Structure 1
Amino acid sequence: MIRSFLRILFFGLVALTAMLGVSNATSVRTDLANLELTADKTSISPGSEFTVIIEMTPDEGWHGYWENPGDAGLKLEMDWKLPDGVEIGDFQFTTPHLIPFEEIVSYGYEGTVTIIADGKLSEDFNQDQLILSGNAFWLICSDALCVPQDAPISHTIDIGDDVTDNARVATVETVKADMPVHIDWPSSFHTDGENFTVKSILPDEIAVIESAYLFPFSDGMMENVYRQNLSFINGEIIGRFNNAFRYEDNDTFEFVLTFKTGEGVDHAYFLSASKSMAPIAPVFEMESSEAAPTLPSLDFGTALLFAFLGGVILNLMPCVFPILSLKAMSVVELSKKDPTEVRISGLLYTGGVVLSFGLLGVIVSLFSLGWGFHMQMPLVNFSLGLLMVLIGLNLLGVFEIGSSLMGVGQNLVASNNSRKSTFFTGVLAVVVATPCTAPFMAGALGYAFLSGGVTGIIIFLALGFGLAFPYLLLCFVPAFRRALPRPGAWMENLRKILGIPMFATALWLFWILGNQLGVNAMTIAIAAGLLLSLSIWALNKNETLWKAVSIISAIGVLFTGYYLSNLDTQKSVIEADESGLQAIAFSSNELNAMLDRGEPVFVYFTADWCVTCKLNERVALSQDNVHQAFAEKDITVMVGDWTNQNPDITRTLQRYGRIGVPLYLYFPVGRTMDNPDILPQILTPDIVIDAL
């Protein structure tokens, strides 16, 4: 669907360019790439053959595509404007590379894409020059964006005796050497309507192969997957895949097979398989009808890196802002402290963060809980809200927090007690960070959950180290500390200003509580925050009356906590008219039923305590053009609210290798529960509309 849309867009651009005229440039520059059109001859005689060379060099971080681009992308094509008597054949591409991104598998090239085509000049060509011109159009992509490119280009060859360009001839030879070799090994394929199997018989001299991969040249027959099920037994290589969505029934299946021999030599062969009506190899079925969770397309090293990067980025998410407010005050103090104490402060804070994440990893592994599981407990949200009130009062100067309150004090490097407080500030950072999800985290956390055991815990430790890394770097690199402003009177004003986000965070936590237990519970929680403020303020008074008021208020806070702990969580009710999506509540049984009826369905999993979820809903899912796209395609929208514990949602998240929200799934017409399109964690309206 996306590819069809892009083709329509590109041909529209081609038509527009044709009306504007064609450039006469051998080399042109678009906004993101350089394009060059040349040939292997500088002069040519009528009746001779020549080779056209097109070189597209994208900017760093961008890539182009092969003839079959896979799940997304478009190859480079040319709308030729040629004089009579000139023929140019099909483009010839080199062996592609795998370009995986999230759930999308594409085939293409990093760096320069060099394409050749055979040309021929007729015997009766009577012009003085051969002008090769046309309009090139293609798609280049980065890891975050795809941009169509369109450029008119031309190249002129003199008419006369044949004169070759040795440098260009060498380029052609290099390209041909990198092309897959067409070979006639016995090959066949079979499909039973769901499974697609292909088999090739290799010659006896190839006894061992490694790192094999099958690139489908025939589009629309086999599903594109990152990790392929390929086996090599008794001289036969067998690939087992699913049928492609909207399978195209053909009598032949063409593909490129790449592998290394036992000697480490790379090979690439172009093969053609004929259709077999009988099965050519057994299909390996799963024992259960319900798909088991599979590891995300990550190895352990990549999962570690993603966890670390996700932890670093987590510092920028709004969930961690309250702790950053606390650290902002202490960081300024670092500029005047003893370097040894500064480094100890960094190590203690890092220890608190890493150990807390390690504990989270153990809990998740033992009890199969999800990311942010504690936010599903109303009493936890109530307690955290009161803690934010305490921190806000402290920053406003109502009272000074001692070491007995476990580490939200501000003198982080002044004494042994403040060392203890530094450690627990790291613990608090982890507690408030869990409602957020940063880029890179989903795959890493899914890998940790599905791997389990020590491997999963190590991933959590890497995530914690990433969260603590910026502060640790500040403590160990003096140059960074010297860049900090000098302490002064302005710090007292800043301290009071930073109290405001703490109260805002408390209100947010009480709002979550209200969605869990009802609006009355939110009102009671706010009242508890007021009673706590009164108790703290009155405690500083010397009069007996105020001491009594402080004690009574504190008892009131304890009573509200007891009262809220005895309330049952309320089942979320989806207000379709408010969202504009006409969403219905998620049920895996209902989803299966709709998919069996062939209906398109979009499912998103969210929670009121998930800041990333709410940001996506505000920025993307609440927009009118997104609502219109769902309505035009008659797509049913289901929302899984994970604010409170829901076993059905938890199992579904785990099925797709996730342990937390957000998760966005799109099931086009004809899909099953096993093969949805999975959208990125950070949404924009264009991402959603393009996915549809």
Structure 2
Amino acid sequence: MLQQIIPILFLALTTSVVLGQESDTWADVNVSATIEQTKTGEAELVVTAKVFDGLHIYAQSQPKPFLATKIAITDLPDRIESVGEFVADRKPILVQHESLGIELHEFEGTVQWRAPLTIRDELATEVSDPPEVLAGTVFAQACEGDRCFAPTTYSFKADYQTVKSVAASNQNLSDDTASFSLSNLQVTSSQTQSAWSVIPLAFVAGFLLNLMPCVLPVVGLKLLSFVQQANADRKQILLMNLAYTAGLLSVMLILATFAVFAGLGWGEQFSSAGFTVTLSAIVFAFGLSFLGVWEIPLPGFIGAGNGTTKQEGYGGAFSKGILSTLLATPCSGPFLGAALAWAVTQPTYLTYCVFAAVGLGMASPYLVVGLFPSMIRFLPKPGNWMVTFKQLMGFVMLATVVYLISFMPIASVVPTVLLMLGIGMAVWYASQTPGYAPAREQVKAWSIATSMVVVTALVSFGWLQDVMQSRFERAVGRFVASQTTGAALVDAKIQTVSENQSPDHIAWKTYSPELFESLVRDGKPVFIDFTADWCLTCKTNEASAIETDAVAAALRESGTVALRADKTESNPAVDELLRKLGNSAASIPFYAIFPANNPSEPILLDGLFSSGEPFVEALTRKPEQSRISRVSYSVE
């Protein structure tokens, strides 16, 4: 054991010596101090910390377990009676840690703390020669992302005769940049649209939703139902597809109601853990039905029975319409955001019309089949292949559950898995009572099955979730402690610098209004990616267009700071900025580039992208071209 420890300690010591010899290169925080004499007998102590680019330190208000910055006076001149409370020159950046769920109070760049000095009256006008020295320390911990360096005590000295001359740091910035404020930002679209142009656009957007991966599991089931309808008469086929359309439209109208009265944007219901857990449970139960574990008690629902003998019923068609709409909401196809953003700014009846148009567009392929049932002849004839196809769709449903669980809060994952187990046992138990059994026995079986689900849900989210939250918080404490000790700090620091210098790495920062305003006022161009873990279109754009070498190079060469505004959980500050940018529905994906020379006229992009060219073009646009513009739902 000792033989393993000694080399590690030697490596850490050797590296520390090297870093100490190159203090200008590796200094994470530089601390200095001055005394500003405001008038005779009055002065302020100003302590300045310059934080290495890409790092941050925590404010004095930082909650535990992270280490708050502390300023202490170690040597006070005779003429100074006391030092008041240190107050920072700006508010810290409030960041919700993405993986730990803890609020962080961070300072980046340069921060100053000011404290009033009380001068002894009898010495206020005397001049000391040599100057009297005030000394103190700043205890701070520098961090980058999840990795922190060892806490350090930085010393500073200031003499009483020092009078700091303040120069305007923003003298080269435009008035618009220097005085930029989110409260004054309001982007309005120069385009005027009418209902006659937007409603057809919404219809096309709804049709294209059928091609999004969120809806494909239910589309597969609809194809299966079409095969079963091959021998049905024309009237029954039409009524069946009308029932599907009715289920689809019912959810669309509910979403329109949420948009009108609650300001809820497309897909925002996934910000609620309760909604995500509920939908996961429903999709899981459907998946088990398709795999043959139980039979859905709806007349003729595809997935019930053996999949070959029963025709689809109206109840099954209606429920599939509901399910497909719910599954579609994490996806955003071309034209959808533009249509919904317009809709929520219109009178209530027009909002409902646009949402209904989206629903009709989504249902249009099935309505066409209902009107022209001869199209079904192009599909394979019914047979045993339908059982295999249905079971494959069951596995696709289970994969959808995994996707839904992936953006739940960490402490809710294990309780949700336990709930799934309870649901699986409940539906299996209920399926042991055959459908031809007396109604009394069926009611009894389903009552017991429902009780099993309720008890499992209470245990999962009434007890187990608290246990998992407690374990998670303890793990956070251990993680934070592990980042502040050992030779791993040296590796972390070296890795941090290496990543920041990487030409194909985008150094994302978490959006906050304070950070955004601070960057703009400092004259830095800013790129904001509005995203969420539940937004599949956002993730597609990130993989195919944003996280590319070309965009990373454009950000680096233009000096643009990349911010990520996350809506995975409810984030009113992000929604407010989206609406200020003219995105009334607060829909995503959405992107904004704020030029350094004219931040009040950002470049806006939204939609589905297959390459990074629109982003590169916007980032490299010349100053005279940086007028408000919007690339809306471009598919490259």
Bucket of the pairwise TM-score, normalised by the shorter protein: 0.5 to 0.7
- Aligned residue for 1:4? none
Identify the residue that residue 555 of structure 1 maps to in structure 2.
455
| CA–CA distance in structure 1, aligned partners of residues 302 and 572 of structure 2 | 35
**How many percent identity over aligned positions?**
26
Q: Tell me which of 373, 378, 391 is aligned to 1:496.
A: 391
Equivalences for 1:73-84 in 2 at 5 Å? none
Task: Determine if the alignment matches structure 1 residue 684 to structure 2 residue 611.
Answer: yes
Query: Counterpart in 2 of 1:522?
Result: 413
Tell me how far apart the structure 1 counterparts of residues 316 and 232 of structure 2 sit (CA, whole Å): 17
- In structure 2, relative to structure 1, the CA distance for the partners of 1:553 and 1:289 (3 Å cut) is closer
Query: Which has the higher mean CA deviation after the structures are superposed, 332-341 or 626-635?
Result: 626-635
Amino acid at match of 1:555: V
In structure 1, the residue matched to 2:265 is 370
CA deviation digits over 1:384-423, x for unaligned, max 9?
A: 1111111111111111111299997689999999212322
Q: For 2:407, what is the secondary structure of its paired residue?
A: helix
Retained in 1: the 8 A contact 2:603–2:618? no
Q: 1:464 & 1:614 partners in 2: Cα distance?
A: 24
Query: Partners of 2:273 and 2:341 in 1: how far apart?
Result: 25
Distance (whole Å) between structure 1 residues aligned to residue 385 and residue 592 of structure 2: 49
Cα distance, 1:523 vs. partner? 2.4
**Alpha-carbon distance in structure 1 between the residues aligned to 2:512 and 2:552:** 22
Maintained 8 Å contact 1:610/1:661: yes
How much does 1:328 deviate? 2.4
Residue correspondences, number: 401
Q: After superposition, where does 1:245-324 map in structure 2 within 5 Å? A: 289-291=184-186, 294=189, 297-324=192-219
C-alpha distance 636-292 of structure 1, shift in aligned 2 (>3 A): closer
| CA positional deviation for 1:322 | 2.2
**Unmatched 5+ stretches in structure 2:** 1-173, 175-182, 434-440, 474-491, 620-636
SS state of the match for residue 597, structure 2? coil
Q: Give the TM-score of the pair, scaled to structure 2.
A: 0.57
Structure 2 SS opposite 1:369: coil
Change (3 A) 1:367 1:442: same
Q: Specify the SS of the correspondent of 1:319.
A: coil
From 425, 429, 432, the counterpart of 1:534? 425
Q: Which residue of 1 aligns with 2:589?
A: 662
Q: CA deviation at 1:593?
A: 2.8
Q: For 1:656, give the aligned amino acid.
A: L
Of 489, 512, 519, the residue aligned with 1:594 is: 519
Do the aligned residues in 2 keep the contact of 1:330 with 1:410 (CA within 8 Å)? no
**1:335 aligns to what SS in structure 2?**
helix
Q: CA deviation at 1:295?
A: 7.7
Match of 1:470 among 345, 365, 372: 365
| 2:231 aligned partner | 336
Match of residue 386 from structure 1: 281
Paired residues for 1:158-177 under 5 Å: none
| Residue from 375, 379, 382 that aligns with 1:487 | 382
Q: 1:381 to 1:625 in 2, by over 3 A?
A: same
Instruction: Report if aligned partners of 1:374, 1:380 keep a CA contact under 8 Å in 2.
Output: yes
Are residues 339 and 511 of structure 1, via their aligned partners in 2, closer, same or farther at CA, if it must alter by over 3 Å? same
Deviation at 1:482, TM superposition (A): 1.7
- Classify the secondary structure of the residue corresponding to 1:450: coil
Give distance in 2, aligned partners of 1:414 and 1:365. 44
SS at match of 2:296: coil
Shift in alpha-carbon separation, 1:312–1:679, aligned structure 2, 3 A: closer
* CA contact 1:626–1:688 (8 Å) conserved in 2: yes
CA distance in 2, matches of 1:296, 1:410: 54
Q: 1:413 to 1:297 in 2, by over 3 A?
A: farther
Match of 1:621 in 2: 546
Query: What is the SS of the residue equivalent to 2:215?
Result: helix
Instruction: Please state which structure has a larger fraction of its residues in strand.
Output: 1
Q: 8 Å contact 1:435–1:611 — kept in the other structure?
A: yes
Which segment drifts farther, 637-646 or 627-636?
627-636
Distance 1:295 1:444, change over 3 A: farther
SS at match of 2:334: coil
CA contact (8 A) 2:209 2:333 kept: yes
Equivalent position of 1:85 in the other structure: none
Q: What do the CA deviations read for 1:231-277 (whole angstroms, capped 9, x no partner)?
A: xxxxxxxxxxxxxxx9xxxxxxxxxxxxxxxxxxxxxxxxxxxxxxx
Alignment partners' CA distance in 2, 1:416 and 1:486: 14
Aligned partner letter, 1:629: A
Find the counterpart in structure 2 of residue 205 from structure 1.
Answer: none
Matched residue SS, 1:344 = helix
Answer whether contact 1:307 1:444 (CA < 8 A) is retained: yes
Deviation for aligned residue 1:383: 1.3
Is 1:509 matched up with 2:404? yes
Distance 1:305 1:410 in 2: 40
TM-superposed CA distance for 1:294, in Å, is: 4.6
For the residues of structure 1 that align with 2:450 and 2:298, how far apart are their CA atoms? 21
The one of the two structures with greater contact order (alpha-carbon pairs below 8 A, sep at least 6) is 2
Distance 1:565 1:649, change over 3 A: farther
What is the rounded CA distance, in whole Å, between the counterparts of 2:556 and 2:355 in structure 1? 41
Partners of 1:591 and 1:683 lie apart in 2 by 28
Query: SS at the partner of 1:451?
Result: coil
Q: Is the 8 A contact 1:642 1:649 kept in 2?
A: yes
Gap change, CA 1:568 and 1:352, over 3 Å in 2: farther
Aligned equivalent of 2:509: 584
The Cα of 1:458 is off from its aligned counterpart by 0.7
Q: Alpha-carbon deviation of 1:626?
A: 2.5
Distance (whole Å) between structure 2 residues aligned to residue 441 and residue 558 of structure 1 = 38
- Cα pair 1:538 1:550 within 8 Å, conserved: no
Contact (CA 8 Å) 1:306, 1:440: kept in 2 or not? yes
Gapped regions of structure 1 (runs ≥ 5) = 1-245, 247-287
1:484–1:341 Cα change, 3 Å: same
Residue in 2 that maps onto 1:459:
354
Deviation of 1:524 after TM superposition, in Å, equals 2.5
Q: CA deviation at 1:492?
A: 0.9
CA drift at 1:351: 1.6
> AA paired with 1:345?
M
Name the amino acid aligned to 1:662: P
Of 439, 442, 450 in structure 1, the residue corresponding to residue 337 of structure 2 is: 442
CA distance in 1 between counterparts of 2:223 and 2:464 reads 34
d(CA) in 2 for partners of 1:369 and 1:651? 12
Change (3 A) 1:333 1:561: farther
Cα distance, 1:461 vs structure 2: 0.7
Q: Which amino acid aligns with 1:341?
A: Q
CA-CA distance at 1:452 after TM superposition: 4.0
Instruction: Return the offset for 1:534.
Output: 3.0
Deviation at 1:584? Answer: 1.0
Q: CA separation in 2, counterparts of 1:648 and 1:343? A: 47
In structure 2, the residue matched to 1:228 is none
Contact 1:664 1:678 in 2 (8 A): yes
Paired residue type of 1:670 = N
Instruction: Report the Cα offset of residue 652 of structure 1.
Output: 1.5
Superimposed CA distance per residue, residues 179-233 of structure 1 (whole angstroms, 9 cap, x where no aligned partner): xxxxxxxxxxxxxxxxxxxxxxxxxxxxxxxxxxxxxxxxxxxxxxxxxxxxxxx
Query: Structure 1 residues 311 and 680 mapped into 2: Cα distance closer, same or farther (>3 Å)?
Result: closer
Task: Answer whether contact 2:202 2:336 (CA < 8 A) is retained.
Answer: yes
Per-residue deviation, 1:602: 0.7
Q: Does 1:606 align with 2:542?
A: no
> Are positions 1:433 and 2:328 aligned together?
yes
CA pair 478-328 structure 1, distance change in 2 beyond 3 A: closer
* Structure 2 SS opposite 1:666: strand
Q: Distance in 2 between matches of 1:564 and 1:362?
A: 35
